[in-house]
Every structure is written in structure tokens, then in C-alpha cells.
């Protein structure tokens, strides 16, 4: 019997989308050639990219790695391309890259900063990636003391004495906090740790070293330089500014007038002063207020100032995340009977940090790039070393090669942080869906 119904009784089989709508060609058609205006802009952009890119490639793709001076580079390029040709002189990178990376650190001890960098990645792996064996997380809290010992050397008892300060603070927190409350325990923790570090850590470490001499050959801070100096300052400032920023953000929202006033005053003062001013204070004025004969390491002073500067900006980023949380989250924590610190640790702060991830990473990147400012106060970061290399008669006139090498290394670190931020946002599903 013939079927005359209007309604189809079976599904039409799916068909492949047209080739012009999917894949590379589909993307190009939708984004680059969707209309006359887009076609014109795409063609003009391609021409500009080709014109600039061809010149850059012709300049950079020169085999001048074996040259030992700028004059020899020019002779090599003239012999290949003619007397009026120009090209990059990469011989300066081959000859000076150890200095660009390690400054004036003794070459026989290069293994120490290299090992410290490798151990840094080992310590960060369980913090940054969930797929890493969790047993490594027990190594992470001890890395700051191991890294400092490898870089500066000296007695092994000094970093152990510094570590003991945290143990003493923790014991004071438990002893006082269990009897007089969390606030009193926190104050006792800070006072006990600071008193140990200021008055007892040094003598105890010296006494133990005289009994059991263990350690590495000491390297003075003036030998630090290059990217090793930038990474040292940047990593410490980044790692310390996040917890300090959290405490400052919580202090700014505290109901205690003194705590809130101190937090607001610190944040507004630091954010209102340029970093270069703080670095000048660290390098010159700080010694005036120290007791006579005090030898306060210049790199440690710079690290403290950069950390304080970054923590003030970090506090505002985290405060924005706290302000973005609905009031119901605070009420839910209260309804569960959680005290202030448990509510912050288990409910409030994890959500605030998730919201603040882009701002936090942006602050980290800015701090790492701001480490180049230390060249103004005499520390030989990569830019500071560039001036000394340009003063060499053999390389006087080299500009783009050195700054391009520095820019490439900074780009690798900053781009890696940016990509990890995007990975973390996707993993935690920070965005609205």
C-alpha cells in the first residue's frame, strides 16, 4: 500500500559538514575571509608580516656563532653577502652566555645554581600539578633552606637554625593558642620565631659549626648576577608575597580597628610609592637605621623590599576575590559552626583564590619583570651585565642581539606562567559555563 503521509517515519542519515565550513579552511573563511573588509585587512596584514618577517629572518639567520668580536662578525657577513650587508652577530651570545646566566658566580660552582633550579621544579611540581606523586609535597617546605644553602654556601647549620625558627614558632602557637586563643597564639608564634632568628640562630649555628664543621664554600652576594639573580629575587618574592597578601587582605577586612588600620596603611603606602624608591631605601637608607657593624646582605634587603611591594598589590587582588563572593558563603560557614580561620581555610579563601587566579598570575609576571630594576642600584641583573658587555671594545656596538636574548628568556618564563594560569583556570572551572 502506498504511504501518502506528510510526516517522515524515519530519520534522515547524518551527513558530513561541507569541507569549507570545518577544519583550517572553515576557520580561515569564518575569521579571515568572511567579507570584503576582512579580506582586505587579512591581505594587508599578511604583506606587513611578510615584509617585516623576511627582513628579520635575513638579519637573524647568520652563522656568526664562531666570531670573537664585532669586527670579525662584520667580516664574515661581508664575505658572504657583500660589503653593505647587515646581520646578527651571535658570537657575543656564545662567548658571554655564562656571564648572562650566572653573573660572576665562580664557574667551578655552576652546578650549585643549576641543582637549585632543578630542585625548585621538583618542589613546585606537587604544588602546581595534581598528577605528580604527592609524596614530593613533603620536600617542598624544605626547599627554601636547601636552595639558599646551595646558592650561598657556608655552614649547613645556618639554614637548619633558620628552619628551627619555624618549629619554635609552631610550638609557641600550640602552647599559647590552646590556653589563650588563636590571636594570642599567633602573636606568640611571631615573637618567638623573630626572637630566635635575631638573637639565637646565629650564635647557635656558629657554635654547632665549630663543633661539627659541615658546609659548602661560601659565595658572596656580589658574585650573583644575570638570570640567576633575577630568578632568585623573583621566585622568593613570588612565593612569599602570596601568603603575605592573603594576610593583608584579611587584615583589611578585619573587625579589629588596629589590625584593619595597619593593613590599610601598609597597603596604601606601598602602592603609593614606586618600586625603585623602595630599592633605593633598601640599598642606601636601610643601613642608617641598623645597629653599627650590622652586615645586612644587599640581596636579602632587595628581596624583602620586592616582596613587600608585591604583597601589597597581591592583597588588593585577593580582596577583589573576597568581595566577589556572595554573602551566602559567609553565612553558610557560620551555619556550620566553623570558627574564623576554619571558615577562611575551608570555604572562603579557596573560592576567592579561584576567582583571583588571573590577577594573581598577572602580579607574579609583573614582579618577575620588575626584577630588572635592581640594575639601577648596582646589582648586575641581565640588563646590568649588558652594560658591562657593551663596554668591552670587542663588542662595542652590539645591541639587538643581547637585548633579544634577554627578552627571549624573560618571555619563556612569563609565557609559561601565563599558560599555567589558563591551565589552572580550566582545571578548576573558574569561568561561568
Residue 275 lies in a domain: yes
Burial class (CB in 10 A: 0-12, 13-18, 19+), 377: middle
Residue 141 lies in a domain: no
Q: Which residues contact 39 (CB under 8 A, 6 or more apart)?
A: 32, 33
Residue 99 lies in a domain: no
What is the structure's pLDDT at 433? 45
Nearest by Cα to 128 from 432, 433, 428: 428
DSSP codes joined into one string, 63-132: --TT-SSHHHHHHHHHHHH-TT-----THHHHHHHHHHHHTT--GGGTHHHHHHHHHHHHHHHHHH-TTS
Residue 244 lies in a domain: yes
Q: pLDDT tens digits for the chain (433 residues)? A: 555 666 667 777 887 777 667 778 888 888 888 888 988 999 999 999 999 999 888 888 888 888 888 889 888 888 887 887 788 889 999 999 999 999 999 999 999 999 999 999 999 988 888 888 877 888 988 999 999 999 999 999 999 999 999 999 999 888 888 887 777 888 888 899 989 988 888 889 999 999 988 899 999 988 998 999 999 999 999 999 999 999 999 999 888 888 899 999 999 999 999 998 888 888 877 667 666 666 778 888 899 999 999 999 999 999 999 988 888 888 888 888 888 888 888 888 988 999 898 899 999 999 999 999 888 888 888 888 888 888 888 888 888 889 999 999 999 999 999 999 888 888 877 554 4
Overall domain count for the chain: 2
CB atoms within 10 A of CB 70: 20
Distance between alpha carbon 221 and the CA centroid of its chain, in Å?
A: 21
The pTM of the full predicted model, rounded to 2 decimals, is: 0.86
d(CA 47, CA 173): 66
What is the structure's pLDDT at 24? 80
What is the structure's pLDDT at 5? 60
What b-and-e string marks burial along 272-290, b requiring 16 or more CB atoms within 10 Å of the CB? eeebeebbebbbeebeeee
* Domain closes at, from 56, 74, 89: 89
The radius of gyration computed from the CA coordinates of the chain, to the nearest angstrom, equals 29
* Residue 395 lies in domain: 224-433
What is the structure's pLDDT at 426? 83
Give the chain's length: 433
Amino acid at each position: 500500500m502506498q504511504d501518502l503521509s506528510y510526516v517522515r517515519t524515519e530519520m534522515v542519515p547524518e551527513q558530513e559538514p561541507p569541507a569549507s565550513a570545518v577544519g583550517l579552511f572553515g576557520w580561515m573563511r569564518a575569521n579571515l575571509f568572511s567579507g570584503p573588509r576582512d579580506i582586505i585587512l587579512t591581505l594587508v596584514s599578511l604583506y606587513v608580516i611578510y615584509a617585516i618577517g623576511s627582513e628579520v629572518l635575513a638579519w637573524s639567520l647568520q652563522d656568526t656563532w664562531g666570531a670573537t668580536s664585532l669586527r670579525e662578525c662584520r667580516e664574515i657577513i661581508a664575505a658572504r653577502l657583500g660589503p653593505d650587508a647587515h646581520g646578527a652577530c651571535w658570537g657575543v651570545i656564545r662567548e658571554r652566555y655564562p656571564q648572562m646566566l650566572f653573573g660572576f658566580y665562580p664557574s667551578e660552582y655552576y652546578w650549585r645554581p643549576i641543582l637549585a633550579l632543578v630542585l625548585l621544579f621538583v618542589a613546585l611540581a606537587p604544588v602546581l600539578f595534581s598528577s605528580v606523586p604527592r609524596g614530593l609535597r613533603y620536600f617542598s617546605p624544605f626547599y627554601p633552606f636547601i636552595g639558599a644553602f646551595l646558592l650561598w654556601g657556608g655552614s649547613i647549620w645556618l639554614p637548619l637554625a633558620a628552619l628551627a625558627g619555624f618549629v619554635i614558632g609552631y610550638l609557641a602557637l600550640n602552647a599559647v593558642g590552646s590556653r589563650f586563643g588563636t590571636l594570642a597564639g599567633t602573636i606568640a608564634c611571631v615573637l618567638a620565631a623573630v626572637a630566635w632568628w635575631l638573637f639565637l640562630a646565629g650564635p647557635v649555628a656558629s657554635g654547632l659549626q665549630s663543633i661539627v664543621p659541615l658546609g659548602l664554600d661560601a659565595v658572596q652576594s656580589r658574585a650573583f648576577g644575570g638570570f640567576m639573580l633575577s630568578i632568585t629575587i623573583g621566585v622568593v618574592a613570588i612565593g612569599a608575597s602570596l601568603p603575605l597578601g592573603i594576610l593583608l587582605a584579611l587584615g583589611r577586612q578585619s573587625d579589629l580597628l588596629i589590625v584593619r588600620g595597619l593593613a590599610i596603611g601598609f597597603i596604601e603606602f606601598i602602592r603609593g610609592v614606586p618600586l625603585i624608591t623602595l630599592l633605593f631605601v633598601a640599598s642606601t637608607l636601610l643601613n642608617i637605621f641598623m645597629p653599627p657593624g650590622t652586615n645586612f646582605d644587599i640581596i636579602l634587603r632587595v628581596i624583602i623590599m620586592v616582596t613587600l611591594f608585591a604583597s601589597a598589590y597581591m592583597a588588593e587582588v585577593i580582596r577583589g576575590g573576597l568581595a566577589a563572593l556572595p554573602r551566602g558563603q559567609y553565612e553558610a560557614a557560620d551555619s556550620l559552626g566553623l570558627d574564623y580561620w576554619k571558615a577562611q581555610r575551608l570555604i572562603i579563601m579557596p573560592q576567592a583564590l579561584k576567582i583571583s587566579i588571573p590577577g594573581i598570575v598577572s602580579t607574579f609576571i609583573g614582579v618577575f619583570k620588575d626584577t630588572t630594576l635592581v640594575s639601577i642600584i648596582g646589582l648586575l641583573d641581565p640588563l646590568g651585565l649588558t652594560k658591562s658587555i657593551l663596554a668591552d671594545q670587542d663588542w662595542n656596538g652590539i645591541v639587538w642581539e643581547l637585548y633579544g636574548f634577554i627578552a627571549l628568556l624573560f618571555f619563556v618564563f612569563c609565557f609559561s606562567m601565563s599558560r599555567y594560569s589558563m591551565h589552572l583556570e580550566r582545571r578548576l572551572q573558574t569561568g561561568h559555563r
